[in-house]
Chains A and B, each alone.
Chain A
Amino acid sequence: MTDMSGRAVLEMKHITKSFSGVTALNDVSFSAYEGEILALCGENGAGKSTLMKILSGSYPEGSYEGQIFVNGNLCRFASPAQSEKMGIGMIYQEISMHLDLTVAENIFIGRWPIKGRKVDWKEMNEQAVTFMELVGLQAEPDMILRQMSASQQQLVSIARALSKDPKILVLDEPTSPLTQKESRMLFEILHSLKERGIACILITHKMEEVFENADRVTVLRDGNIISSCRLSETCEKKVITDMVGREISNYYPKEKAEIGDVVMEVKDFSVPHPSIPNRKIIDQVSFQLHRGEILGIAGLVGAGRSELVNAIFGKDPRLSGEIWIDGRKASIKSPADAMKNGIALLTEDRKKDGIVAEMSIRENLTMPLLEKVSRNGIMDRKREKDISRRYFEELGVKAPGTETLMRQLSGGNQQKVVLGKWIARDPKILILDEPTRGIDVGAKYEIYKIMVKLAREGKGIIMISSELPELMSMADRIMVISDQRIRGILKEGEWTQEKIMELSAMWETPVTNAGGHES
């Protein structure tokens, strides 16, 4: 492959793994060198996670073919503990932390400093501070994780991985819970780790991350290595082409739709903070949404974007505020009320409140339309089948059929089903909270296409996204929220990444002086 000045700290040779007859990895060989950032790219289901699970020991020796060499020594990992011992650290996409323990406890869990027969708390907190500083986490070591934001929690998980002194650090989509600013900080950390000779393997969908940070990029597709080269030898378009195996001519299929009248107006909306009592996360927010418009919402994680739309949908409580739909005031106290008023919400976290994993595609698709596929409380099986089949095909869900269970689908296909169930309701207003998070390029593109089609049908669409290029390419207007308020609504041509980031970073109220409840 490529000539590297560094030494190969990790070599995985001829790895083949199959699940009940289906090949997930086919004779994959790949290496990582001392002091490099290697980007591992591929669509969902390409085999990245499987490969990393073999490396981490989650799939023990014997459940696959091939060999792993760390520093030239053949390793047989029977468990994650053994892999960790060899200096392999993993940071997963979904944060797996103990929410009711402190930062220090989370970092040193299972390896508490001992004095006599007791845990030495003082020592533990002191040591924790060292690693917290390393990742730039500003908090107290005895803070309970539940009180911290998702991004802070992510930093704790990185601190934990670093405390084990890894030689090889695997990061699986580490920036998905992070804002752009926090992501940049994370990459600063990675660069400093790289200086210290650590090999960082970065699994990501975000091309900017790859091209700004990686030294090399390896692309996996359908369990095969498609390409592996230095960054200078490739370009974004080539990596994407390798990933999907086809040319994406127009990355964002945005087409202008005709912008109509105001379909929804939100007035003086205030939403309580979900975890901090007597604090607002959204304060006196008002805005309008037009027919045929895609209104983007930008902001940092924790700015209250999701909380705002969840409150509009009646999913979370609100302190005050009115919703006007087609010029009439709507009373929305529950998701059922919002649905009656023609609103649909695709939530931020699919697994948490988007899907029922153990139910079929059909049952998931018709969940918000039970009254449409039943008569007098009895399910109309034929109608249900027809409707679910129709949206299954329309959304291009890749699965054997509508009876396939949701848990068997990839993230992108699950997302299509979740989107499908809301489209099937034919809503006037469609709110999409991070609709393309954690899904592959191909599925993203298809979701963009659906959005454009819906806008052309005259629906009002709200799109929350942390990926600025996506927002700037898809939205007609972008509303930036930070520190409880709208900091600006930008039209096409007015926005730049810098401008949006600047508005997102506007924090004026000191944390201690925030407003209280006013119900």
Chain B
Amino acid sequence: MKVIKKAMKMREVGVLVPLLLLWIITYFINHAFFTSTNMIALFRSVSITALGAIGAAFVFCGGMMDVSAGSVYGLAGMLAAIAMKDWGMPVAAAILAGLLVGVAFGLVNSLIINGFEVPAFIATLGTQYIARGIVNVISEGRSYTGFPDGFNAIGGMGFFGIPWSIYISLMVAVIAAYVLKYTVFGRSLMAVGGNPETARTCGINVKLIRNAAYIINAVLCALAGILSTARLETAQAAAGSGWEMTVIAAAIIGGVSMYGGSATILGAVIGVGIMETLTVSMTMIKVNAYWQRVVIGIVIILAVGMDTFKRKRMSGGK
């Protein structure tokens, strides 16, 4: 009983309920929903997007914002592909090159935002264009396929018929949740997001913490881009367009506050579940793809609206 009571109090429960409802509704409309193939496909999408949402959780938690995620995702996947196909690099080196894209853009974002004090939204909007531009320049707009088997295997099935991406994502989520809750870095990040001036006065290096959050975020986005390339066995110049909005929405739906100082990794992952299920179920019940975007848009606004409302209510009543 106590366990159940405690569980009910966790804020993630508030997000889990709509996810389960969504699943049940979809099941009633289309019984094919709960088949193992469909569930594995769903969880595989969730696992890749979750990496981005975890990154977004770190950035939001520090009271910041990043809209370059989709382009970094695209560039990392593309660079890994070109490294293998055009430069003949081994798989491991190509993956490393892709991850370095994340490190590089994390650093560039930090430098622009914390060094030159350009507002985060504008700075990352700029790097979103830059990264997408580079994708098109280096690929000349072409798609790449025919990667070594070793690379494609990463996007395939692992132990017990479960895709590797799910194992990877699960591992990242556990580590991220631990870092956020039990490390000095996580506590500092929360403090920085909650009140940067107080954090600085307490001797916390605010810029360093924020830079680290940006780098973690960009590396996770790069990892997602590489996993997605491996899973599709294709690198496309347009890969990840608009993905930043999906991860931001997922994180916010999952209870990560846009205003900083509050984040839960589990919540962010469940948020991704809701976003991905929405897409899958709308497809299954044959909602026109254009209308799907309208629905997603509404969901994003509702999620942010709820976050703002919660904030207001908390600061309003004494």
Contacts and interface: CB of A to CB of B under 8 A. Distances in A.
Contact of B197 (A352, A407, A421): A352
A335 B200 contact: yes
A457 interface: no
A407 B183 contact: no
A335 B203 contact: yes
B183 A353 contact: no
Contact of A367 (B191, B314, B315): B191
Given A347-B201, A353-B201, A358 B261 contact: yes
Interface residues of B, number: 25
B194 interface: yes
B184 A19 contact: no
B195 interface: yes
A363 interface: yes
Contacts of A358: 194, 261-262, 314
A159 to B, nearest CB: 28
A113 interface: no
Given A353-B198, A368-B203, A378 B184 contact: yes
Contacts of B200: 315, 335, 353
Contacts of A334: 203, 205
B165 interface: no
Chain A at the B interface: mostly helix, strand, loop or mixed? mixed
B314 A407 contact: yes
A19 B317 CA distance: 8
A110 B80 CA distance: 58
A43 B200 CA distance: 31
Interface in B175-216: 182-185, 187-188, 190-191, 194-195, 197-205
Interface in A277-326: 313, 315
B2 interface: no
Interface in A441-459: none
Interface string A350-380: 0011111111000100011011001001110
A134 to B, nearest CB: 33
A354 B315 CA distance: 17
B317 A354 contact: no
A99 interface: no
B318 interface: yes
A345 interface: yes
A339 interface: yes
B204 A367 contact: yes
Contacts of B201: 313, 315, 335, 345, 347, 353-354
Contacts of B204: 336, 367, 370
Interface string A417-454: 00001000000000000000000000000000000000
Interface of A: 19, 49, 313, 315, 334-336, 339, 345, 347, 352-359, 363, 367-368, 370-371, 374, 377-379, 381, 407-408, 421
29 contacts: A315-B200, A334-B205, A336-B203, A345-B201, A347-B201, A353-B198, A353-B201, A354-B198, A356-B191, A358-B194, A358-B314, A359-B190, A359-B191, A363-B187, A363-B190, A367-B199, A367-B202, A367-B204, A368-B203, A370-B184, A370-B187, A370-B204, A371-B184, A374-B184, A378-B182, A378-B183, A379-B182, A407-B315, A421-B202
Those 9 A-B pairs whose CB atoms lie nearest each other, nearest first: A353-B197, A356-B194, A336-B203, A368-B202, A367-B202, A356-B195, A339-B203, A374-B184, A353-B201
